[in-house]
């Protein structure tokens, strides 16, 4: 990763410098810098420190009356003054993460065509077939290390948003930089526009994407194959993260590419790792073991089945046979319990089907299975009903309730509902943030099971070790590393994830665990350095202004 800071002889001058966001310091240019760089008269005379400007930005944000306004203000700042944007984000992560990413990014994606101002990545359409390399060459930076790519088919819990889904790669890459110090010039967001099957999106006069039905079949596969090959040749040191692909493609593309390229699918693997970390912490809180759990997962898409796969692997790693681990995991899709007697199961669901009587609804499944934990990855709001939660509380002293669907509007239940209907005994986590809940004089701080705890650190570990592949073992190691950073103070608040304010430290420890897997499994040509933590920290981008003179 490049952390090269230009000296004054390399800098553009005058208004050109002020228009380059990676170099611009605005009113923080010093008097000698203004003399040398032709900035006198182009800036007001008062000189501010970066800390003063950061406080000014936060004051402005807090005056905004809606989260979308705050999002637009921050994106505008990123376009003008990159280091100030990241300084503000790093120093206020707990407050601003819900603005630059979920839940606000969901609304931003729904409005993306209407609020689009300037591109923040590459748009590759199906009409670029046989010319993808030329499109990639239009990107101004050659040392690309992290690529996030989506085709916009399943954006959060909002469904097919087509090209409007570009807000997801843009938002997640800003978290790579803020949470793990991946230099912004090494990050590349990509939208592969193959159309949309959402008629409301397609027929919107302001829609920026192809107004055509989605490409499917061999032509789609050929486009993705060309993309992966061209990307790996042009950016050979890059890690590629697949994001928000529909179920029809997510699993098979992961299997198609995972052993050929340095890539992963965050919805499948990152979500699973974050969920496993939360379960490790919840069980540590109540002094219980993973191998004794019975898990019901609501949903059978990429996130849900990714969770199942990693849970089964983790249980097997703690002593259960694979068969016994399978018997402790249950899945409920839109039609009911996933069982072997059903004839309507897709291939990726069949391996998780149980030889068990069919039950149509979640409440019936909970009554029959008596799970210790319910995990929501369905995108269906309100599905953890009061009756489901009351039943969980009746059969468990400390029921574990993870309502993971994003954004907040899609959550299976609210934090307040989870605590109220379990007599305040639930160990609760959600995908999007909920405010602390005060009930009968007690304050509960819900854990946010956000993938931003996992993927930035995994990326930092991959890049620092120069690993050639991303493996499930790395995500299991990341989950353990995250769990180890949850303190007794967090437990006292009912929280099973560390505060986002400590995310850079969290990411370094996850990166260390991931890099150690890469070295142990010989997934890199690099020799493990004697000071691996020092190497990782040395590669992290610092958003503090540089003195050019």
pLDDT computed for residue 3 by the predictor: 61
Instruction: Establish if 41 belongs to a structural domain.
Output: yes
Is residue 157 very low, low, confident or very high in pLDDT (cuts 50, 70, 90)?
confident
Using the structure block, give the residue that is written with the tokens 């605590």: 419
Domain identity same for 273 and 419: yes
Instruction: Establish if 2 belongs to a structural domain.
Output: no
Instruction: Establish if 530 belongs to a structural domain.
Output: no
Domain identity same for 281 and 183: no
DSSP-assigned letter for residue 484: T
pLDDT computed for residue 1 by the predictor: 54
- Give the three-state DSSP class for 74: helix
pLDDT computed for residue 299 by the predictor: 95
Higher pLDDT, 302 or 238: 238
Domain identity same for 141 and 256: yes
Domain identity same for 440 and 424: yes
Domain identity same for 348 and 418: yes
Domain identity same for 148 and 246: yes
Instruction: Establish if 201 belongs to a structural domain.
Output: yes
Give me the number of domains the chain comprises: 3
Domain identity same for 426 and 443: yes
pTM for the structure as a whole: 0.94
Using the structure block, give the residue that is written with the tokens 């059969």: 395
Domain identity same for 213 and 242: yes
Read off the CATH number of the domain in which 56 is found: 1.20.1370.30
Domain identity same for 396 and 412: yes
Instruction: Establish if 544 belongs to a structural domain.
Output: no
Domain of residue 220 covers 112-261
Domain identity same for 291 and 435: yes
DSSP-assigned letter for residue 268: I
CA distance 70 to 62: 8
Is 5 a residue whose pLDDT tops 80? no
Instruction: Establish if 92 belongs to a structural domain.
Output: yes
Q: Which of 100, 125, 149 is the endpoint of a domain?
A: 100
Span 368-425, pLDDT tens digits = 999 999 999 998 999 999 999 999 999 999 999 999 998 888 999 999 999 999 999 9
- What is the number of helices (H) and of strands (E) in the chain? 25, 14
Q: Which of 452, 474, 507 is the endpoint of a domain?
A: 452
Active site residues: 101, 172
As given in the structure block, the two tokens for residue 310 are: 């990693």
Domain identity same for 204 and 335: no
Read off the CATH number of the domain in which 191 is found: 3.40.50.10380
Domain identity same for 293 and 201: no
Q: Spell out the SS3 assignment of 334-380.
A: CCEECECCCCCCCHHHHCCCECCCCCCCHHHHHHHHCCCEEEECCCC
pLDDT computed for residue 4 by the predictor: 65
How far are the Cα atoms of 142, 254, 430, 434 from residue 102, in angstroms, in the given order? 30, 24, 11, 12
- Give the three-state DSSP class for 531: coil
């Amino acid at each position: 990763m490049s952390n090269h800071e230009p000296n004054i002889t390399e800098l553009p001058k005058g208004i050109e410098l002020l228009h380059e966001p990676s170099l611009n310091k605005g009113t923080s240019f010093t008097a000698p810098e203004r003399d040398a760089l032709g900035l006198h008269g182009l800036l007001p005379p008062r000189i501010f420190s970066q800390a003063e400007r950061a406080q000014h930005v936060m004051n402005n944000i807090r005056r905004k009356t809606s989260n979308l306004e705050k999002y637009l203000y921050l994106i505008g700042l990123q376009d003008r003054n990159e280091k100030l944007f990241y300084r503000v984000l790093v120093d206020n992560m707990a407050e601003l993460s819900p603005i630059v990413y979920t839940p606000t990014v969901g609304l931003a994606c729904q409005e993306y065509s209407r609020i689009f101002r300037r591109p923040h990545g590459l748009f590759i359409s199906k009409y670029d077939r046989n010319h993808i390399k030329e499109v990639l060459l239009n990107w101004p930076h050659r040392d690309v290390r992290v690529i996030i790519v989506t085709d916009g088919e399943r954006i959060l819990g909002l469904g097919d948003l087509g090209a409007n889904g570009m807000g997801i790669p843009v938002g997640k890459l800003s978290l790579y930089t803020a949470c793990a110090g991946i230099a912004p010039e090494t990050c590349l967001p990509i939208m592969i526009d193959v159309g949309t099957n959402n008629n409301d999106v397609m027929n919107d006069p302001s829609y920026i994407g192809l107004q055509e039905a989605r490409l499917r079949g061999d032509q789609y596969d050929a486009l993705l194959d060309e993309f992966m090959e061209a990307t790996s040749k042009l950016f050979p040191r890059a890690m590629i993260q697949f994001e928000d692909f529909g179920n029809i493609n997510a699993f098979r593309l992961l299997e198609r590419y995972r052993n050929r390229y340095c890539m992963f699918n965050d919805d499948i693997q990152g979500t699973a790792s974050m969920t496993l970390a939360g379960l490790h912490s919840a069980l540590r809180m109540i002094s219980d073991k993973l191998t004794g759990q019975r898990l019901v997962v609501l949903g059978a898409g990429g996130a849900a089945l990714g969770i199942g796969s990693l849970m089964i692997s983790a249980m097997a790693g703690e002593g259960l046979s694979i068969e016994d681990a399978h018997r402790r995991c249950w899945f409920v899709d839109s039609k009911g319990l996933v069982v072997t007697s059903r004839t309507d199961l897709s291939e990726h669901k069949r391996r998780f089907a149980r030889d068990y009587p069919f039950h149509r609804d979640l409440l019936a499944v909970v009554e029959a299975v008596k799970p210790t934990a319910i995990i929501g990855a369905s995108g269906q709001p309100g599905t953890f009903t009061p009756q489901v939660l009351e039943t969980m509380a009746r059969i468990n002293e400390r029921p574990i309730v993870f309502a993971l669907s994003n954004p907040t509007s899609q959550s299976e239940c609210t934090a307040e509902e989870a605590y109220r209907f379990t007599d305040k005994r639930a160990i609760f986590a959600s995908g999007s943030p909920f405010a602390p809940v005060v009930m009968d004089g007690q304050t509960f701080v819900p854990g946010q099971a956000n993938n931003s705890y996992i993927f930035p650190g995994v990326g930092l570990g991959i890049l620092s070790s120069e690993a050639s592949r991303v493996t499930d073992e790395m995500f299991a190691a990341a989950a353990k590393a995250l769990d180890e950073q949850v303190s007794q103070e967090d437990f006292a608040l009912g929280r099973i994830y560390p505060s986002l304010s400590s995310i850079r430290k969290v990411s370094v420890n996850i990166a260390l665990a991931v890099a150690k897997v890469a070295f142990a499994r010989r997934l890199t040509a690099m020799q493990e350095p004697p000071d691996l933590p020092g190497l990782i920290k040395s590669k992290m981008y610092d958003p503090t202004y540089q003195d050019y003179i």
